[in-house]
Structures are given as C-alpha cells and as structure tokens.
C-alpha cells in the first residue's frame, strides 16, 4: 500500500513529468465544454469549491488514512476519529476552504462546521455498509498513474484504490461523494474509470478485471468488466480529444457548449452562451494543461 498523503505532490522539475498530459477530469471537461476546459486548464481561473466538493476531499483522505492502519483498526469509530485531524491538515493546506464556514456569529459558524463534519461521518457510515475494509489489503491507494500511448498522448491521473486478489485479478475502485445529477454523473464516472483501466492496461499489460464505483450518498455500487476491444476504442477517443485540444490550443478557439451542467458552472458570467465575455486568450500553457486538482479527485 502506498504511504498516506492528503495533498497533491509538488510538481517535479524533470522533463519527463513536465510533459503535457491528459487527465480524466480535463478530458471530461473538454468533452463537456471546450470553453470550460480552457477556463480551468489554460486560463487557470480559480473556482470557489462547494462544501460538497471539500467534503468529498475529506472523505477520500480519511479512507486513504484508514487503509494505512492495521486491518483490525479499520472500523467505523476509528474512521470518524480521523475526521477532525484530517480536516485540520486539509484546512491548513487550503486556508480558503475554511471561509466556506465563516459567519458573523462565531457560534453559528462552529455549528455549521460541526454539522458538515457529521455529514462526512454519515458518508463513512455508508461506506462501511458497502464493504468491510478490514478484510481488504489494497495494492495501492490514491495511486498516481501515468503512461504515454504509442501515439504520443500522455495520460495521467490518480486512482482511488487498486485491489489485487490472491489469484491475480485486478479491481479499480472509485468513491463518489458528490451530488451531481445521477445520469450525467454516472456517465462522467464511467468515463473516468475507463481512463484508469486504459492506463493500467498499458502500464501492466493486462486489462483490469473489474471497475467498481461506490456511491457513498445513497449506498449503491456499480461494477463493470471492461474488455480489450472496448479499451482500444476508448484509447482512440482520448487520442481524438487530445488532438482537438491541441488544435483549439493553437487557434485559441475553445467553443462553449451549453448543457444541463451549466447551472453548476462557476464561469457563467464570462461565458458567451450567457452573455459574458471570456478574458483574452493567454496562449497555450507550458509545460502542462492536464493535471487534476485535489478537488477533481474527490468528486
């Protein structure tokens, strides 16, 4: 198992790690709306996280810490004991997150934080209803994976968990804690899981046996078994997305695409679809326009 961490590692200075890459979140952004991709990956316009997003980050970090403990300690009470110290670490690393709970009345602000932490605890309770972590020994948690395809496209991301059975079967596990509309959310989640399956296949030479999504809001699980032909088609899809990104990056022509998800977008005020004007195009970024954020990894 990998050593527990709760923040993204600092960017390395090596040329290999600084190559432009495509992450599942940024690929999904471009597929959903090229202009959203530009705002996030090129302009890098800060977005205000929601309490739900930050809660997802907290729950992911707690589960990572939980699997770093001896098996007999992976119980609900111990998981909840981790909430306060892990939140203290995350809020120290991201002090702007605490502003989500600021209030003129300090007592009300404390109650809001307490209620929010309790809601994170409820998600952990749901998790324990889905599986027994004391019976599992993951090969890796929050694993950074990266591979360069034969076409030259570099893929990069973080996998919540990789399980390997004694008989060799590989399972990729992803926790979902956000409140996105279920149909759209599931499509995006499966896109992400196929991305990870493709990366592991190209890294290890074998197609993962199972992809598992665990929905901690409603206690549902979704499992899927990919096959090689499907991943080859998905690989071509990602290569096409990357080529489209590079063309848009060269021309600066990132078109807006209106959808139901616009209601959740931080950038409506600067989007032409809603009467806004994007900032002047800054040019294609160097060295990278593909990394995920810690919030992306915890949706």
Contact 58, 86 (CB under 8 A): yes
Average pLDDT, the chain: 88
Q: E strand or H helix at 141, and its extent?
A: strand 140-148
pLDDT at site 15: 44
pLDDT at 8 over 50: no
Closest by Cα among 248, 191, 273, 244 to 42 = 248
Q: Compute the average pLDDT of residues 9-35.
A: 74
pLDDT at 233 over 80: yes
Q: Compute the average pLDDT of residues 163-168.
A: 95
181 pLDDT band (50/70/90 cuts)? low
102 pLDDT band (50/70/90 cuts)? confident
pLDDT at site 214: 94
Q: Compute the average pLDDT of residues 218-235.
A: 95
Closest by Cα among 148, 194, 151, 190 to 21 = 148
pLDDT at 163 over 70: yes
Comparing 180 with 11, the larger pLDDT belongs to 180
Q: Compute the average pLDDT of residues 119-148.
A: 96
Comparing 260 with 147, the larger pLDDT belongs to 147
pLDDT at site 111: 80
Q: Is the dihedral of CA 230, 232, 237, 242 positive or negative?
A: positive
What percentage of the chain carries pLDDT values higher than 90? 73
Terminal CA-CA length for the chain: 22
99 pLDDT band (50/70/90 cuts)? confident
pTM for this predicted structure? 0.86
Instruction: Collect all residues with Cβ–Cβ distance below 8 Å to 280 and sequence separation of at least 6.
Output: none
pLDDT at site 101: 83
Q: Compute the average pLDDT of residues 28-39.
A: 96
pLDDT at site 3: 36
Comparing 276 with 108, the larger pLDDT belongs to 276
């Amino acid at each position: 198992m990998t050593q527990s961490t709760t923040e993204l590692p600092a960017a390395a200075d090596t040329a290999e790690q600084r190559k432009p890459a495509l992450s599942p979140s940024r690929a999904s952004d471009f597929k959903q709306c090229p202009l959203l991709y530009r705002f996030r990956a090129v302009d890098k316009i800060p977005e205000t996280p929601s309490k739900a997003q930050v809660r997802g980050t907290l729950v992911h970090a707690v589960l990572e810490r939980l699997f770093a403990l001896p098996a007999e300690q992976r119980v609900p009470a111990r998981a909840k004991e981790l909430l306060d110290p892990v939140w203290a670490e995350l809020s120290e690393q991201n002090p702007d997150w605490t502003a989500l709970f600021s209030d003129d009345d300090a007592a009300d602000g404390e109650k809001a934080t307490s209620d929010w932490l309790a809601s994170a605890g409820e998600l952990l309770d749901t998790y324990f209803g889905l599986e027994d972590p004391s019976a599992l020994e993951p090969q890796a948690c929050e694993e950074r994976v990266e591979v360069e395809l034969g076409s030259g496209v570099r893929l990069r991301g973080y996998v919540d968990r990789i399980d390997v059975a004694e008989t060799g079967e590989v399972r990729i596990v992803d926790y979902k804690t956000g409140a996105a509309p279920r149909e759209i959310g599931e499509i995006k989640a499966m896109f992400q899981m196929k991305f990870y399956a493709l990366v592991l296949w190209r890294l290890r030479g074998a197609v993962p046996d199972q992809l598992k999504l665990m929905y901690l809001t409603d206690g549902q699980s979704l499992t899927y078994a990919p096959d090689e032909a499907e991943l080859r088609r998905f690989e071509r899809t990602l290569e096409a997305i990357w080529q489209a990104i590079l063309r848009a990056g060269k021309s600066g022509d990132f078109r807006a695409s209106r959808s139901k998800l616009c209601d959740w977008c931080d950038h409506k005020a600067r989007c032409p679809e809603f009467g806004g004007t994007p900032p002047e195009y800054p040019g294609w970024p160097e060295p990278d326009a593909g990394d995920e954020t810690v919030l992306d990894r915890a949706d």
